Structure 1
């Protein structure tokens, strides 16, 4: 299919995040003169600002070396574009071109998929944090009282679900900094598995009337292991092998707040005027 051209020119950085080169995108969209494409890009940058998104997150200016005739090379200014940036560019490009219509379909679909994944992550992360409170309460009733005991209890659950990996092992595998929480850096599939682990462990602790921490630890491990076995039976990816999202939950929350603030500003001319006067 023709729209595969956008997939073919997609690049990945060292962290596995996708991006596109403005030079290659301009060529794909049949802009013979890059200066005309820069005008389109400026409109997209303005749209990015109006949406409340931080422009540097989506439009990154760099210098690239291009090859000229007879093996010569020259440095040119290029912009590395996120998927969202490409989507905004497509919105501003010449709609009469067939390739622009195809690009709109490609980037709109990809952008919508990412939005849905972000929504799922935000919802699941909130749910698991709430259920972890209930799990902690159930564990306390089972004799897991001290903070060190609860940390051990949690690790039993992770070890069952992650094939022997403890929380710190998962943290290290994801390449996170010491202050970063592993839950904030899980995709929706991984979060869902951990939510199921938490809810089922809580239910079993209460149902069985567990009254000692050793039994609680064994149950947490067994529940995690059973969920892992189910994942394997379905032929799905093990939790530790699932990709780590490029944006954390905290980054998504910050972005949503900015988007909501920008939307309120656009829908309330009085507040916009007040901001300009200030």
Structure 2
């Protein structure tokens, strides 16, 4: 495992699982590897400390640390069951907080799971959030759903980076009345290094989240094949979202104000508060 993989937040996303109810979870054995623990007994000791922290916070331990067995193959075809745990995001956070702070992977995990846990709390209390908190919550959802959308697009035949750039641009063009990513970028007055999604208010982000989720579902549901068919699908879904906004009397996304603070800036401010 290279340093880039070791200390990249994507490492935690890569081992995340989703059950049939849409709930996220992590497996302790997989998390142990990412956090650079080599011996289960040492990592299990960290888990036990995390359980105590969970209980002390008046949370039900079994809801966050579920015992699950795992079968492994031994020599000559024999098998043996080893202990494992199905962990909630909160459980992973507690494990990271009780881990060895000298490990770079632990330090990264502490920040990652703290921020993600906070995002979940924000989504659950959306109606009571400030505009900045809503932006953070929806942007977090966009990251998750764009990953799923990219997978659906690849399955449809959108394979190269250039293909995917065109695919994404088609979605923007449908939603923004013909404006592509380059035009939206210029309209917002952004620098080349600044990302469009980081400079959207909550209403504009919500429209783009709806575009992404609906395109994802349509590509999968209708088993759309061929990159050009995928391009058309993304454009049409974006166009329908735009039409819905118009019918409801809403403001077109390109006419919505551009926030002064980026989502990244708000995230940094929130991380400072968490620390």
TM-score by length of 1: 0.52
Mark the CA change 1:115 to 1:245 in structure 2 (over 3 Å): closer, same or farther. Answer: farther
1:127 to 121, 138, 141: 141
* Match in the other structure for 2:257: 243
Gaps of 5+ in 1: 1-112, 262-278
Which residue of structure 1 lines up, in the alignment, with residue 111 of structure 2? none
Partner of 1:164 in structure 2?
A: 178
Q: Which residue of 1 aligns with 2:200?
A: 186
Could you tell me how far apart the structure 2 residues matched to 1:114 and 1:257 are? 20
**4+ runs deviating over 4 angstroms:** none
How far apart, CA to CA, are the structure 1 residues paired with 2:128 and 2:196?
Answer: 20
What is the rounded CA distance, in whole Å, between the counterparts of 2:229 and 2:172 in structure 1? 16
Written as runs of structure 1 = structure 2, the 5 A alignment for 1:56-95 is none
Task: Give the Cα separation in 1 of the matches to 2:192 and 2:128.
Answer: 27
For 1:265, the equivalent position in structure 2 comes to none
- Cross-structure match for 2:218: 204
CA-to-aligned-CA distance 1:48-71 (integer Å, 9 cap, x gap):
xxxxxxxxxxxxxxxxxxxxxxxx
CA RMSD of aligned residues (A): 1.4
Q: Which has the higher contact order (CA 8 A, sep 6+)?
A: 1
Which secondary structure state, in structure 1, belongs to the residue aligned with residue 192 of structure 2?
coil
1:219 pairs with 2:265: no
Q: 1:150 maps to what in 2?
A: 164
> How far apart in 1 are the matches of 2:158 and 2:274?
41
Summarize the Cα distance change of 1:219–1:144 in structure 2 as closer, same or farther, 3 Å threshold. Answer: same
Using the TM superposition, give the Cα deviation of residue 260 of structure 1 relative to its aligned residue in structure 2, in angstroms: 2.3
Inter-partner Cα distance in structure 1 for 2:143 and 2:187? 22
Superposed CA deviations along residues 234-275 of structure 1, whole A, max 9, x for unmatched, are: 1110000000011100110111112223xxxxxxxxxxxxxx
Count matched residues. Answer: 149
- Supply the distance in 1 between the matched residues of 2:193 and 2:128 (Cα, whole angstroms): 26
Aligned to 1:195: 209
Match among 232, 235, 244 for residue 246 of structure 2? 232
Cα displacement string for residues 142-180 of structure 1 (whole angstroms, at most 9, x for unaligned residues): 000000000000011000000000001101100000000
Select the residue among 189, 194, 197 that pairs with 1:175: 189
TM-score norm. by structure 2 comes to: 0.53
Greater C-alpha Rg: 1
